[in-house]
Amino acid sequence: MKGKIALITGSAKGLGKKTALTLATQGCDIALNYVHSEAEAEELQQKIIELGVRCIAVQADISDASQIEGLVRQVDAELGSADIVINNAGPFIRERRLFAEYRQEEIISLIQGNLLGTMLLDHFVLPSMRKKKWGRIIHFGFGHAGEARAWPHRAVYAAAKTGLVSFTKTLAVEEAPFGITVNMVCPGDIRGDNKEKGIADVVGMVDSETPRGRPGSGEDIARVIHYLCQNDSDFITGNIMDISGGLDPIRPWIDPSY
């Protein structure tokens, strides 16, 4: 993967950061993206440069079409057109609420940040990928998103992500002749510092809500993304991949020992 250019949205912290570091160690040049976390992005940028690859950090809000276009233009100018696009950024409201309790601006933000922004970013990068006859696009969902089940108290977020499932599958079919793959990774409930940890760091921890028995880590997600981005993974496209330790975010896990 040496010399490939990877654009990763929302990559100053969390799963995006772990993915950026993983791809950088494989020789990818990295375009980081952030909205508010400038200090974290600059610190990560320096760390990645020390790995021997190029790296830039670009401020842009993925829910704003003009800023998405500016992000792509800056990456093109400073690194070259993106070969790999990881659509990690997307707002989420952890507080559980009925749909009627959401404010209109929250509804719009969740849809724009999780669905429309992703679609627009893909639209901006597709022409250059088509010219190269090579591209890797990764979307982020949630566990069991591909089933489009009801998710009470998460109506807007779930609607955006399940809409993205359909878009992922459609785009995968349309772009396959151009050597571009499109897949979705669906993390389990990976929280806090675990998003930036390796698998070895969480193996001894207990997570009673996840059937596997341990919490997920950033490495669990990043290693799958790395695999999907490899040159020989070109036959894997249009897939919705749960990386959740068996966790179903909608239906709680019942320990069989009880």
- pLDDT tier for residue 208 given thresholds of 50, 70 and 90: confident
pLDDT in tens, 83-141: 999 999 988 888 899 999 999 999 999 999 999 999 999 999 999 999 999 999 999 99
- Residue 245, amino acid: G
CATH number for the domain that contains residue 109:
3.40.50.720
Residues 170/228, Cβ–Cβ less than 8 Å: no
Domain count, the chain: 1
**Which among 254, 199, 243, 203 has a CA at the least distance from the CA of 221?**
243
Asked if the structure places residue 249 within a domain, the reply is no
Tokens of 21: 């570091």
Structural domain contains residue 148:
yes
Reported as a single tens digit per residue, the pLDDT across 148-193 is 888 889 999 999 999 999 999 999 999 999 999 999 999 988 989 9
pTM of the predicted structure, to 2 decimals: 0.93
Identify the helix (H) or strand (E) that includes residue 182: strand 180-187
Greatest alpha-carbon span in the chain: 59
Confidence band for 256, pLDDT divided at 50, 70 and 90: low
Task: Give the strand pairing for 180-187 and 240-243.
Answer: parallel
Which tokens belong to 246? 């068996």
Straight-line distance from the first to the last Cα atom of the chain, in angstroms, rounded to the nearest whole number: 48
CB atoms within 10 A of CB 158: 22
The DSSP bridge partners found for residue 87 are 139
Q: What is the pLDDT of residues 16-29, one digit of tens each?
A: 999 999 999 999 99
Whether residue 256 lies inside any domain: the answer is no
Q: What is the pLDDT of residues 72-87, one digit of tens each?
A: 999 999 999 999 999 9
The answer to whether residue 251 sits within a structural domain is no
CA neighbor of 14 nearest in space, from 218, 241, 157: 218
How do strand 5-8 and strand 240-243 relate by DSSP bridges? unpaired
- Which residues span the domain enclosing 149? 5-243
Task: Let me know if residue 250 belongs to a domain.
Answer: no
252 found inside a domain: no
Whole-number Å distance between alpha carbons of 59 and 9? 10
